[in-house]
């Protein structure tokens, strides 16, 4: 079973715009990770944020985590056509000790 | 190559056939994971190895699914008497440390299994 939900399920924007994706989860977590998947490169790890962190940056990526609301967001700034992919959040739950993925957001960046 | 590799990339099986999917993790990676990804869904955990020990197989959907990693490197996921609902992409991932909770996982390209 999947951990949580991602919102929106699909997002279409123009190159240069920002893209925001949200993730909600259900259980207590150790950390939350974001992954990208496209047909060319498979599933690739983007960023990891620990449960005691609130915000993290990596290049054009900004991730926030609100453990009180059990939610996270991924912001991609100045999007590029190459950012077109599916984006998944994944959590390590403290009980199960396994990585549980959301259903993903399909991002389309139009040139 | 430095990444996780999987073979075959595509497999078509007739219902009832047995299949074996192979994963070559990144050299030296202690932890190895198998996931099943249905179309339009996120990956779902199947099983986890630390070296040759299978520490968690709670995600295997039935006793038709079996995984092994006898020498702590290459792993094989075997599906016996395949059914149409087994059609999915099977992903393998590896991670570098025993304390896998804190590490990213490196994924292979997956094997797309189609059961007719």
What is the per-residue pLDDT across B54-103, written as a single tens digit (0 to 9) for each? 999 999 999 999 999 999 999 999 999 999 999 999 999 998 865 555 67
**What was the pLDDT predicted at B100?**
54
Q: Are A2 and B41 in contact (CB < 8 Å)?
A: yes
- pLDDT bracket for residue B46 (50, 70, 90): very high
pLDDT average per 10 residues of sequence, chain A (111 residues): 75 97 90 88 89 95 96 97 95 75 94 92
pLDDT digits (tens, 9 = 90+) for B11-41: 999 999 999 999 999 998 999 999 999 988 9
**What was the pLDDT predicted at A33?**
92
| DSSP states along B57-90 | -TT--STTEEEE-TTSS-EEEEESS--GGG-EEE
Q: With contact defined as beta carbons under 8 Å apart, do B94 and B33 qualify?
A: yes
Query: Does A105 contact chain B (CB < 8 Å)?
Result: no
Length of chain A: 111
Q: Are A42 and B109 in contact (CB < 8 Å)?
A: yes
Query: Does B96 contact chain A (CB < 8 Å)?
Result: no
**What was the pLDDT predicted at A1?**
47
Which of A30, A43, A97 should we substitute to test contact with B (largest number of B Cβ atoms within 10 Å)? A43
**What was the pLDDT predicted at A97?**
66
**What was the pLDDT predicted at B101?**
57
Cα B61 to Cα A28, B66, B79, B87: the distances in Å are 24, 10, 10, 13
pLDDT digits (tens, 9 = 90+) for B107-116: 999 999 999 9
**What was the pLDDT predicted at A92?**
80
Query: Does B102 contact chain A (CB < 8 Å)?
Result: yes
Q: With contact defined as beta carbons under 8 Å apart, do A21 and A71 qualify?
A: no
A34 vs A83: CA distance, rounded Å: 14
Q: With contact defined as beta carbons under 8 Å apart, do A38 and A86 qualify?
A: yes
- Considering only the beta carbons, identify the residue of A2, A45, A97 that sits closest to B42: A2
DSSP label of B25: P
A44 vs A36: CA distance, rounded Å: 5
**What was the pLDDT predicted at A5?**
79
**What was the pLDDT predicted at A39?**
77
> Can you read off the two tokens belonging to residue A75?
């912001």
């Amino acid at each position: 079973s999947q951990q949580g939900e991602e919102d929106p399920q699909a997002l279409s924007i123009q190159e240069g715009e920002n893209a925001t994706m949200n993730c909600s989860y259900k259980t207590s977590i150790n950390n939350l990770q974001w992954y990208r998947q496209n047909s060319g490169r498979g599933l690739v790890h983007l960023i990891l944020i620990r449960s005691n962190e609130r915000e993290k940056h990596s290049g054009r990526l900004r991730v926030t985590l609100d453990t009180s609301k059990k939610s996270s967001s991924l912001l991609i700034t100045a999007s590029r056509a190459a950012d077109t992919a599916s984006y998944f959040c994944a959590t390590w739950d403290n009980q199960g000790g396994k990585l549980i993925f959301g259903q993903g957001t399909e991002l389309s960046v139009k040139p | 190559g430095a990444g996780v590799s999987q073979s075959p990339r595509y497999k078509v099986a007739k219902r009832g056939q047995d299949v074996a999917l192979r994963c070559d993790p990144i050299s030296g990676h202690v932890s190895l994971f198998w996931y099943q990804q249905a179309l339009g869904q996120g990956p779902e955990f199947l099983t986890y190895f630390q070296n040759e020990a299978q520490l968690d197989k709670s995600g295997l959907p039935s006793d038709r699914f079996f995984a092994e990693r006898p020498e702590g490197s290459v792993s094989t996921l075997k599906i016996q008497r395949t059914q149409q609902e087994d059609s999915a992409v099977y992903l393998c991932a590896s991670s570098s440390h025993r304390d896998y909770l804190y590490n990213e996982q490196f994924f292979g390209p997956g094997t797309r299994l189609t059961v007719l």
